Amino acid sequence: MGYFTLESLLGFIEDFSSYINVYQHYKTLFHSDNSKDKSLAHHARNKKPNIEIVKHLRNVIGCKVNSYVILKITDKDILQYLIDGMTNDELSLIELDRLYEFPDIETANLMINTFPSTKFNQPLNLSSLEVIQHLHQLQRDEMFNIALMDYKASIGDIETVKFLHYNRNEGCEDHTLDEVATNGELENPILKNH
């Protein structure tokens, strides 16, 4: 088995005992720094990352935390564990310009407080209305642009569209009205006058 197979396994292994079996048989594949760091990133993209696997990759293997890992982790406890253990060098290299979602307010606060000088350049299209309202209250204006309202309208999230309309001034593209009409929301008075 080569490293690419190991990468794939790390993306799918969810229990620690299976991971340890793979590690025992293929630990020579973890020797280069590049493969170590990729290992953590590949497990980060797992739908159910396991904190014991993350701890082993971090503490025994010596994997470093990079932007890709931070962007892919969705588990708050694992994210907190990684952030708490990051070196100053690791912290200084984190770029979050491709972040599309804060899954919840706690995660949003953790990321904003850990990386206060980071400009989150993407509209948070996948974030919930609750998170969007929270970010609006924090005045994180760089996270809002017309693409956010356009996306929310395209998926029929009219409550978020209403919030953005009444509370933000970015507006939307002309075609957004067509998307809202397609989703059956044209009768909404806020969109008729937009």
| Per-residue pLDDT tens over the stretch 19-50 | 888 777 766 666 666 677 778 888 887 878 89
- Tell me whether residue 51 is in a domain: yes
Residue 112's alpha-carbon distances to 106, 107, 123, 134, 137, in angstroms, are 10, 8, 15, 12, 13
| Per-residue pLDDT tens over the stretch 44-97 | 878 788 999 999 989 988 888 988 888 888 788 999 999 999 998 888 888 877
- Tell me whether residue 177 is in a domain: no
- Tell me whether residue 102 is in a domain: no
Q: Which two tokens stand for residue 148?
A: 């956010």
- Tell me whether residue 75 is in a domain: yes
Any alpha helices (H) in the chain, and if so which ranges?
3-12, 16-26, 33-44, 51-55, 67-72, 76-85, 88-93, 105-114, 129-137, 146-154, 158-167, 174-182, 189-192
- Tell me whether residue 193 is in a domain: no
According to DSSP, residue 184 is labeled T
pLDDT at position 136:
93
DSSP secondary structure, 90-144, as one string: HHHH---TT----SSHHHHHHHHHHSTT----S--TTS-HHHHHHHHHTT-GGG-
| Per-residue pLDDT tens over the stretch 137-148 | 998 888 888 888
- Tell me whether residue 125 is in a domain: no
- Tell me whether residue 70 is in a domain: yes
Domain range for 83 is 1-94
- Tell me whether residue 113 is in a domain: no
Task: Check pLDDT > 50 for residue 192.
Answer: no
Q: How many domains does the chain have?
A: 1
pTM for the full predicted model: 0.72
